[in-house]
Amino acid sequence: MTTSTLIDSTAAEAVAPAPSRSLAGATRKELAAALLEIGAPEREIRMRSAQLWHWIYHQGVSSFDDMLNISKVFSRKARRAFYFDAAADRL
């Protein structure tokens, strides 16, 4: 007796897109605009942009995993949309 397993090809091809925007060098206004673009709730924009500003410019963090006061849900969403490579922005 033989069994076969069907694999959904769309699921295998579904790969998360690469982050498209760097946050390196962003101003507070640019951080807020970037958060709006990824669908962050308007009531959270001020708080989230302040959190990102603090971690990026005060703590020197370049990974959402190191941002301890950012929710896991927001961190996952931001990680999919943003990166921190300042060198790539200068090219």
- pLDDT category of residue 5 using cuts at 50, 70 and 90: low
Q: Per DSSP, what are the bridge partners of residue 83?
A: 22
* pLDDT at res. 4: 54
64 pLDDT more than 60 = yes
Reduce the secondary structure of the chain to three states and give it as a string: CCCCCCCCHHHHHCCCCCCCEECCCCCHHHHHHHHHHCCCCHHHHHHHHHHHHHHHHHCCCCCHHHCCCCCHHHHHHHHHHEECCHHHHCC
62 pLDDT more than 80 = yes
Domain locations in the chain as residue ranges: 22-89
* pLDDT at res. 55: 95
22-89 to CATH, choices 3.40.190.10, 3.40.50.970, 1.10.150.530, 1.20.190.20: 1.10.150.530
Answer whether 0.85 is exceeded by the pTM. Answer: no
For residue range 11-58, list pLDDT tens digits in order: 444 555 566 888 988 999 999 999 999 999 999 999 999 999 999 999
